[in-house]
Structure 1
Amino acid sequence: MHNSPSPSSTALHRSPLWLMLIGAAILVGGFAWQYAYSSGGAEPGVAISPPTHDETVSAKSETAVFAGGCFWGVQGVFQHVQGVQRVVSGYAGGAADTARYETVGTGRTGHAESVQITFDPAKVSYGTLLQIFFSVAHNPTERNRQGPDVGTQYRSAIFPMNASQQRIAQDYIAQLDSAKSFREPIATRIESYTGFYPAENYHQDFLTLHPSNPYIVINDLPKVEELKRLFPQRYRIEPVLVKPAA
């Protein structure tokens, strides 16, 4: 995803040569998409059933924290969901003093690239956010990686904010696995929430601000299109941004 190398992640797709090759591929059209699927790029969304158990509305605003690989794409997907009020890219699972991009990139901090989602539960439930998370935001069957990005910092994880969220997440994973909704078992971990630390400013709203970035074109814009295809009633055209346009 990013330009800084780390010992626990693949480096080819971050190199200037890779960006040049993918940029050329995009210009010639179909080859770019063939490359995307053959090299761990965007995968089609998966139509899955909603959670059997979901929360009841008890507040005007709630928070969810998910980790699903590179936070650029996960943030971009949820910024297009009706009822979502704010989505911040950041780090969860580690300590405050290691919540920096270069340090997290080593894969040794316990952090995962994550998003903090503030939402109106009267408009979109926690269970619906989980459905979108599993269906289009990432591939929940990949362990300690996501597409071309490899390392524990790219793991699939849910950080419940309370007992209700934890129960809903646990039940939903069991439901999806029992129904064999995916070809492989779900690898998503449910981890204790110990804090969320916003990422550096240049990571915020990255998909919206850099739609022609080769990584975004190959790995993330297709996820937004899958959101629109599989959840047309949930899709919002204008994203809710961390830094609204002046």
Structure 2
Amino acid sequence: MPSLGKGFLVLASAAVALAAQDLTLRITTPMAPPTWALLEQELLKANSVACERFYEKYVDARGYLLHTPRWGTLDGPDDAVETFFNWTLLHALGGKDSLLEMWRKAYDGHLLQYSELRTTKTKLAENGAYFNEFITQSDWFHTGEGLRAFFLQGLSDSHDEKLIRRMKRFAGLYMNEDPEAPNYDPKHKLIRSIWTGSKGPMLHKATVYDWVGDPVPGRFHLLHNPAGRSQMLDLMTYYPKMLAHCTEYLDS
């Protein structure tokens, strides 16, 4: 292999020295923003306005979502807060600042609204679906669904004191920092159950009512049903089918 020579070493050293310096690039030639960027701005603006209109109609002065709260992995707390699941991401991408204001109010309201929920068929929410602002016990899939907007809030709101406090508390649930929630097994280095939360791990077989929750009379838009998402259905009619659907989960 031929020698690279001293000239190469000098040039390489100069390049390293140049890279180590603080450089200032001045761009003084104006140009029109590309069409795609303008369209992106319009899309973000339109989505922000849509969120504002939804909030005005479906969220009350307390931040409560105007719906029928119920417990369950089928149309439960996670599904309610998923209403706002991409609002914090929309703000991080360049949406209106009102998105963060609405999200903060709606999330505080959601936690209070579902802390007031009471169930009779399952003990998981007999004193509220949330304890210390987090789900009492649920499987990680649904817990994660309900926390998506919360997790992404830090992209554009990282200094919010309430967010920081909640995020540390949530992390502590899986580091055994909360004596009421020993979800982590330090000896075996694993999470002790697929059902975990602010009340600790579930160390027994879940019941079908843990999955489905209490029956609620009335007609509702049910996310998970074979008849189609657009139809309003009588929950009491579909409740036995929901129970049957979840019996296959009981071995988990």
Question: Normalised by the size of structure 2, how large is the TM-score?
Answer: 0.27
Higher-Rg member (1/2): 2
Question: Normalised by the size of structure 1, how large is the TM-score?
Answer: 0.28
* More strand per residue: 1
* More helix per residue: 2
* Larger relative contact order, structure 1 or 2 (CA cutoff 8 Å, min sep 6): 1
